[in-house]
Structure 1
């Protein structure tokens, strides 16, 4: 529940332009992991390919992604962020990071901030396993 509330709060401070959590997650994944096929994105996001296709259609319509033929397999297309998509992700990430830094500074002691950082490191390790 804590993660859900924190995630919701972080997205509230960012201008989501009425994008859904799935759409925001796909943009974030493409920003972090780089170009990938729709099926690779679906696997990485742990969603059905049909859901990913619908997500990508909206992002494409808004000019946030583009598709290019895969140079290694002409039957596949790779999805990448457009310049607008990169700007959106960067701006959104900056707004969320600034809010979180300010909230930690205003509401936590130095020891509590260190504890949060240590806990996040452990949770990240769990999430990667």
Structure 2
């Protein structure tokens, strides 16, 4: 195992905890509170084009295909997604957002954006916001491969 600096270990732990708390809080802010967290996550993934099949979504979410099937059925019944046969493989289905699903995601994204801007204005000083801007650039660099 590689020896790491104490500051790298502390920073990694603090970032993981803060990001986890921030992520959970932003999920709570969603405008459509009838969606389960897994349903909301699928809508976000579809809006980003991360996957287009039930199997791909299940793999990304780290759940069994049967669980994903139940999530997709609930979203389909609400008119938020559409499942169509894959033109290259009839055994698979391509999953896409409907206009209503895209509208839900846009509303949720706007609500989360408004919430975080409001919290930054409310809780942080101008100096702290400038520090966060610089920290975000560093984190972006860390995330690059």
Normalising by structure 1, we get a TM-score of: 0.83
Ranges in structure 2 where 5+ consecutive residues have no aligned partner: 1-16
Question: Which one of 113, 121, 124 corresponds to residue 97 of structure 1?
Answer: 113
Q: Distance in 1 between matches of 2:38 and 2:144?
A: 20
Within 5 A, what are the aligned runs for 1:1-129? 1-33=17-49, 36-123=52-139
Q: Distance in 1 between matches of 2:144 and 2:66?
A: 25
- Once superposed, what is the RMSD of the aligned Cα atoms? 2.3
| Contact 1:35–1:80 under 8 Å retained in 2 | no
Q: Distance in 1 between matches of 2:68 and 2:105?
A: 18
Q: Distance in 1 between matches of 2:99 and 2:120?
A: 31
Q: Distance in 2 between matches of 1:76 and 1:23?
A: 20
| Contact 1:42–1:49 under 8 Å retained in 2 | yes
Q: Distance in 2 between matches of 1:51 and 1:67?
A: 16
Q: 1:123 to 1:13 in 2, by over 3 A?
A: same
Secondary structure, counterpart of 1:27 in structure 2: helix
Q: 1:34 to 1:3 in 2, by over 3 A?
A: closer
Ranges in structure 1 where 5+ consecutive residues have no aligned partner: none
Q: 1:24 to 1:108 in 2, by over 3 A?
A: same
**Structure number with bigger Rg:** 2
| Contact 1:37–1:77 under 8 Å retained in 2 | yes
Secondary structure, counterpart of 1:16 in structure 2: coil
Normalising by structure 2, we get a TM-score of: 0.75
After the TM superposition, which of the residue ranges 6-15 and 59-68 deviates more from structure 2? 6-15
